[in-house]
Structure 1
Amino acid sequence: MSNLIKPFNVAIPQAQLDDLKARLANTRWPNEEPVDDWSQGAPLNAVKSLCEYWQNDYDWRRCEREINAHPQFTTEIDGLEIHFLHIRSPHENALPMIMTHGWPGSILEFMKVIEPLSNPTAHGGKAEDAFHLVIPSLPGYGFSGKPTSTGWGLERIAKAWITLMARLDYSEFVAQGGDWGSGVTSAIGHIHPPQCRAIHINMALAHPTEDDMASLSERDQKALADIKHYFDSDSGYAMIQKSRPQSMGYGLADSPAAQAAWIYEKFHGWTDNNGHPEDALTVDQMLDDISIYWLTNSGASSARLYWESFHNIFAEPLTIPCGVSIFPKELFRPARKWAERIYQNLIHWNELDKGGHFAAFEQPEIFINEVRSCFAKVR
């Protein structure tokens, strides 16, 4: 029975939604930050405004309907219940693709790319661009089970995804991911199962060598400056999540305002915006994602992936065919020369003009074109 694939529908009890509103109404707020920017985290007025909308105007049932419009399932793999969307293309020769989100993302990152990727002829594309899509929730995230023992790092998740694709009777597939999804996808590439034809990532990790440092372009200097800024001023969340996910989890499990601020700050810092996260994503899009974390109580369980794998995020050299898309507001933007030492069979490389860390969420059309272009080379 462990191989059983069961249909799944999102149906949050009304009592949970009522509890959310009551907690938001009773939030105890900190005092206002003494700076006029986001340098100490999400500003009080911005978070208050977000939570006021969440309490009074936001409609979770709309989000629920949008998720439930797609076929969803759960199946037990390696002792853990895995939730996933499975959208079969109407086109017979569609290429199976497993797509993996990251933190603080979710399956919702991919909602606007599902239809164009799976049914391209209905969206101005060609039948030969079609994909069958498998979109799982990471262990400890969303509607997947929460690990109760250690060991669920990137390699184990990658092996679970390979098992999932086999269980769905796909004899070959490609894999795509960003953020932790990039790590999982790279781990699939490192395992290099014969049925995986290629991978595509939108967060590539590669270091410059001493020789590289001697002849940096202006573009590469900016990329390295941004990496330094990340580790100096923007990685506090990761240091906490990789070292004390349980201690942090009490606040995220008890206070929706804390959960909202924890993620809202990243939508500000990591999207391609003009100073406000709402420039890149709608308030509803952000609250849809935040709500999944809150309603599934995933603050601590999602953070544990950092405890498991943050020390091991830099991929070892890969020989599998690989595509890389570099978005201008991505956290890490290695030069192609650096990347080629890791991704040694690079079949696609492109640096885009707009978009950030949440590529499919922010720029669905650009993301779709990147994925189509990359995997057209292995069809």
Structure 2
Amino acid sequence: MIPTPIHVSDDVLEDLRRRLLATKWPRDAGNDDGFYGVRRTRLQPLVEYWADGFDWRAAERAINAYDHYRVDVGDVPVHFMHKPGVGPNPIPLILSHGWPWTFWHWSKVIDPLADPASYGGDPADAFDVIVPSLPGFGFSTPTRPDMNFWKIADVWHSLMTEVLGHPKYAAAGCDVGALVTGQLGHKYADELYGMHIGSALKLSFFNGDRGWDLSGGNPIPAGLPPEIHARIIELEHRFASHLATHVLDPSTLGFGLADSPAGMLAWILERWQKWSESEKAFTDDDLLTHATIFWAGNAIDTSIRTYANNNRYPWTPSHDRTPVIEAPTGITFVSHEDPPGVHTPQERVDNFLASDRAPWYNHVNITAHPNGGHFIPWELPTEWTDDLRRTFRELR
């Protein structure tokens, strides 16, 4: 295979700028507190900077410090980034991002994972790092209209074993990428060294008539302590509109977002702001790098549709053994997503072990951190790297 650097054409960038400058702004009256969503006072300066100030070519040069490849895996176009491992025996590792992530959300951990000795680590912990854009995301476009997380796992397994020739490999992921990784650990456990994820959902999370509803249609129980009631409301406000709209109306939303870069930025900015521990997790240049990747790949519609397909084409087990996910599993939890009533890292671990999700996994390394938000390898790159290395140290 021959590397193909990322290059967004001048025509695409000029069209993007023209659309940004032509944005028709709503009044957004009475939204100084963000009660109604992203504030115009935050979004408009960012859009203006995107049009006249943001340097995509500088971001592109940083991205192209790594080798990039485009391959067809069956009938699925796949872009991936590669960093060769530096150590006595690097093992191949595939990293799966989520939404509204891009492959570049792994950029802070790629080098330490591939070359630990250069970052004060043990060269025996080295990985040969493969970072794809999920099908329908980033530069893995266009994709099949039925793509979902468990079908992506099949694509990844073919990529790693057939295209790249690795008979055995490691896998890690966050958000939707954790479900992709979990499916690899379920269906292809014998060909995995192990896996590490940033959450631990059931693979059946999107199944059922109300796969779009965080509550499953159940009301909040009466008589809860005020603190727990408030935390339930906070978490539902954070995720409910995202999940419901993506599962129920992805194309309806997609028409607007694919035509308006300001609208697309507003939709994903809301998630970046609320899901990260702090708005300081992302600089404006960071935000616009990821947003430009979404725009240049025309990926917003197909990336969103993944959610609907997770529900339309439900996950079914490949075997009836237990645990469902047999591959040895490491898990990283962060405080910004602590469930109601959880206040310490140990309480987070205990909460998971007592839940109905824990028996799904062959967990060998569970770590909870007192800080950090949803975008773990971006917000806590050192902690994520350490956790992942520890998971695989005895599995190589």
Task: Answer yes or no: same fold by TM over 0.5.
Answer: yes
Is 2:368 the partner of 1:363? no
Mapped to 2, the partners of 1:148 and 1:186 lie a distance apart of 21
Is 2:251 the partner of 1:246? yes
Mapped to 2, the partners of 1:356 and 1:66 lie a distance apart of 24
Offset of residue 89 of structure 1? 0.9
Equivalent residue, structure 1, for 2:241? 236
Q: CA RMSD for the aligned pairs?
A: 2.6
Q: For residue 277 of structure 2, what is the amino acid of its counterpart? A: D
Change (3 A) 1:310 1:201: farther
Residue of 350, 354, 366 corresponding to 1:337: 354
Equivalent positions of 1:80-159 (< 5 A) are 80-150=76-146, 152-159=147-154
Change (3 A) 1:40 1:99: same
Secondary structure in structure 1 of the residue aligned to 2:354:
helix
Mapped to 2, the partners of 1:296 and 1:343 lie a distance apart of 35
Q: For residue 266 of structure 1, what is the amino acid of its counterpart? A: R
Contact 2:141 2:298 in 1 (8 A): no
Is 2:73 the partner of 1:72? no
Q: For residue 165 of structure 1, what is the amino acid of its counterpart? A: M
Mapped to 2, the partners of 1:337 and 1:317 lie a distance apart of 17
Contact 1:54 1:287 in 2 (8 A): yes
Is 2:281 the partner of 1:280? yes
Mapped to 2, the partners of 1:118 and 1:95 lie a distance apart of 9
Contact 1:33 1:43 in 2 (8 A): no
Equivalent positions of 1:21-36 (< 5 A) are 21-36=17-32
Mapped to 1, the partners of 2:26 and 2:316 lie a distance apart of 37
Equivalent residue, structure 2, for 1:348? 365
Runs of 4+ in 1 over 6 A off after TM superposition: 313-316
Contact 2:201 2:357 in 1 (8 A): no
Mapped to 1, the partners of 2:157 and 2:245 lie a distance apart of 30
Residue of 368, 376, 379 corresponding to 2:393: 376
Residue of 325, 333, 348 corresponding to 2:332: 325
Equivalent residue, structure 2, for 1:192? 188
Secondary structure in structure 1 of the residue aligned to 2:108:
coil
Offset of residue 146 of structure 1? 2.0
Contact 1:97 1:173 in 2 (8 A): yes
Change (3 A) 1:59 1:233: closer
Secondary structure in structure 1 of the residue aligned to 2:325:
coil
Q: For residue 57 of structure 1, what is the amino acid of its counterpart? A: G
Deviations 1:301-336 (A, max 9, x none): 111101111575899832221111101113767523
Gaps of 5+ in 2: 206-224, 318-322, 340-347
Secondary structure in structure 1 of the residue aligned to 2:355:
helix
Mapped to 2, the partners of 1:354 and 1:294 lie a distance apart of 31
Change (3 A) 1:335 1:96: same
Mapped to 2, the partners of 1:144 and 1:227 lie a distance apart of 36
Mapped to 2, the partners of 1:296 and 1:146 lie a distance apart of 8
Equivalent residue, structure 2, for 1:258? 263
Q: TM-score, normalised by structure 2?
A: 0.85
Q: For residue 71 of structure 1, what is the amino acid of its counterpart? A: D
Offset of residue 71 of structure 1? 1.0
Greater shift after overlay, 173-182 or 328-337? 328-337
Secondary structure in structure 1 of the residue aligned to 2:34:
coil
Q: TM-score, normalised by structure 1?
A: 0.88
Offset of residue 200 of structure 1? 0.8
Q: For residue 69 of structure 1, what is the amino acid of its counterpart? A: A
Change (3 A) 1:232 1:41: closer
Q: For residue 55 of structure 1, what is the amino acid of its counterpart? A: A
Mapped to 2, the partners of 1:320 and 1:33 lie a distance apart of 52
Q: How many residues align?
A: 361
Change (3 A) 1:163 1:226: farther
Offset of residue 8 of structure 1? 2.0
Mapped to 2, the partners of 1:228 and 1:199 lie a distance apart of 32
Contact 1:347 1:377 in 2 (8 A): no
Q: For residue 368 of structure 1, what is the amino acid of its counterpart? A: T
Mapped to 1, the partners of 2:355 and 2:282 lie a distance apart of 31
Equivalent residue, structure 2, for 1:16? 12
Equivalent residue, structure 2, for 1:179? 175
Offset of residue 94 of structure 1? 0.9
Offset of residue 366 of structure 1? 1.3
Q: For residue 156 of structure 2, what is the amino acid of its counterpart? A: W
Mapped to 1, the partners of 2:122 and 2:41 lie a distance apart of 47
Equivalent residue, structure 2, for 1:204? 200
Q: For residue 252 of structure 2, what is the amino acid of its counterpart? A: S
Mapped to 1, the partners of 2:87 and 2:287 lie a distance apart of 32
Mapped to 1, the partners of 2:104 and 2:23 lie a distance apart of 27
Change (3 A) 1:29 1:9: same
Change (3 A) 1:24 1:244: same
Identity %: 31
Change (3 A) 1:325 1:57: same
